[in-house]
Amino acid sequence: MSDLIQDVEDSTFEEHVLQSDVPVLVDFWAPWCGPCRRLTPVLEKLASQYIGKLKVVKYNVDQSENSYRRFRIRGVPTLIAVRSGKEIGRCTGVTPGTLNPLLYTLLSEPETETAASLISYGGDADRKARCIERVALAVGSGDLADEPETRTTAFDGAALPSVIASPRDGGDALDLPAPLTSLYDYFYERLPEGDCLRQFALDWLKAIPVGINLYPLTRDYLLWSLADPAFGLIRRVPTSSELTNLLGRLVELHRRERDGATVPEVEWVTLRKWADTLASGLEKAQRDLCNVATNAMVSAKEFGHVVFVELIDAICMFDLLRIHTTWWSEDETAAIERQQKTFSELAEDCGPKPEEAEALAAYRARLSALDKKTREEVYRDFPQMEVQQAAMQEAARAAYDAPRLQHVQYLLRRLAES
C-alpha cells in the first residue's frame, strides 16, 4: 500500500480524520473483501494526485466489532467523505458513478450559494445546446462507454455523461442541484446497455428546461422514493412492522419541510435515535433498509447526493435478495454456496485483473471457464437447477432493472413538466 495512505483505528480516528486540516476520504474495508482490494490502486492514485489537498485513510472494520454500528456501515467497501470533522457524503459498493461525484464534492470549496439558487444551464439556451452536442458526439464516436463493466470501472470519470456534457475545466456547467447531476451518472452506469441507454444520455439533458431552479424537484423525488406505494422504499417494508411507522414519520418531516415549515433539529435527532434502536432488532434485509432511511433523517438542505443513490440501491437490492434467498431449496442453496466458494478460491489463483486489453481478455476467459466448470459440478447433483437457472436470472434481471427504469421515467417526466 502507498505510504500516502494511512491506517486509522478507533484510537486515532479523532486525530487523523475529525481533526484533519484537509478533507479526508475514509475507506472502510476488510481483508477478506475482494472489491476492497481492487479499490486500493484507485485510492493510491487519488492520494498521489491530490497531495496536500486530500487525505486518504483506511479503516479495517474487522478491528472493532462495533465499527459497523458506530459508523452505520452497511457493507464494504464504503467510502466516507469528511470535511472539517463532518461527514458530507458516502458511497458503498464503490463505482465511478458514486466515487467521482463524492470526490468532486469533497474537493470543492464549501458552497457559498445554496442549491436553491442554481439556475439550470445558467439560463443560457446555447449552453444547453453545447452540452447536448458533446454527449451526442460521444455517443456517436463511442467515447461514452456503454458496456456494463466499462461503465462501472472508469474511475477517471472520463466516461461519465455529466463530465462529457459539462467538463470540469470548462464554463458550460449544468448548474443543477448535486443530486440531479449524480443521478444522471448513476442511472447511466446501471441501466441496461444498448440504444435505449445511449438515448437516455441525451434525453436527460434535453428534458432539463433552461433557466429554472430544480431544487424543489429533488425534494419531491426524495418523498416519492420513500413513500411511493409501488416503487418507493416503503413498499419493501411489511405493514405490520414498526419500520413502517418510522418511514411514515420520516416522510411527514420531509413533507413539512418541503411545504415551507422549519423542522427543529431535535425532531431529526429523535428520529435517528428511534432508527438506531429499531435497527438492532431487525433481520438483515430490513435492517439495511432502516440504515439507508437513517441517512435521510436530516434536513434536505444538509444531506448529500449519495442519499438518493443508496435509496435506489436499497430498493433494488432488496428485491434482488428476495429472489436469491427464496428461489432455491435449502440443499440447492448450500450447493450454490459451495460452488461460489470453490470458484472464489480458484479465481484467486488467477492473480489480479490485468489492465492490458489482450491479457484482460485472457483473464476473463479463464474466469468464465472456471465458473462454467464449477457450475457443471453442481448441475450433476441437481440437474433441474440448470433449467431453472435461466428463469432465475431473468427474474433477477427484471428485479434489478425495473425499479431503476421507473425512477428514470419519473424524473424525466418531472423534468419535462418543470
33 counts as catalytic? yes
Helix or strand or coil: residue 22?
A: coil
Of the candidates 92, 136, 135, 105, which has an alpha carbon nearest to the alpha carbon of residue 292?
Answer: 92
Cα-based angle 74, 78, 80 (whole degrees, multiple of 5): 110
φ, ψ of residue 166 to 5 degrees: the values are -140, 80
CA 16 to chain centre: 26
Reported as type and span, the H/E element at residue 380 is helix 357-381
Diameter of the chain measured on Cα atoms = 65
Task: Name residue 55's beta-bridge partners.
Answer: 24
SS3 content of the chain, % helix, strand, coil (to 5): 65, 5, 30
Distance (Å, rounded) from C-alpha 225 to C-alpha 231? Answer: 7
Distance (Å, rounded) from C-alpha 233 to C-alpha 311? Answer: 7
Of the candidates 92, 99, 220, 100, which has an alpha carbon nearest to the alpha carbon of residue 166?
Answer: 100
Of the candidates 118, 121, 75, 82, which has an alpha carbon nearest to the alpha carbon of residue 102?
Answer: 82
Three-class HEC string of 333-373:
HHHHHHHHHHHHHHHHCCCCCCCCHHHHHHHHHHHHHHHHH
Q: Which of 36, 131, 290, 316 is catalytic?
A: 36
Cβ within 8 Å of residue 270, ≥6 positions away: none
Reported as type and span, the H/E element at residue 7 is strand 5-8
290 counts as catalytic? no
Residue whose entry in the numeric block shows the C-alpha cell 461460489: 340
Task: Name residue 7's beta-bridge partners.
Answer: 58
Alpha helices in 155-264 (DSSP H): 161-165, 178-190, 195-207, 215-227, 242-258
CA 25 to chain centre: 16
- Amino acid 99 reads L
Active site residues: 33, 36
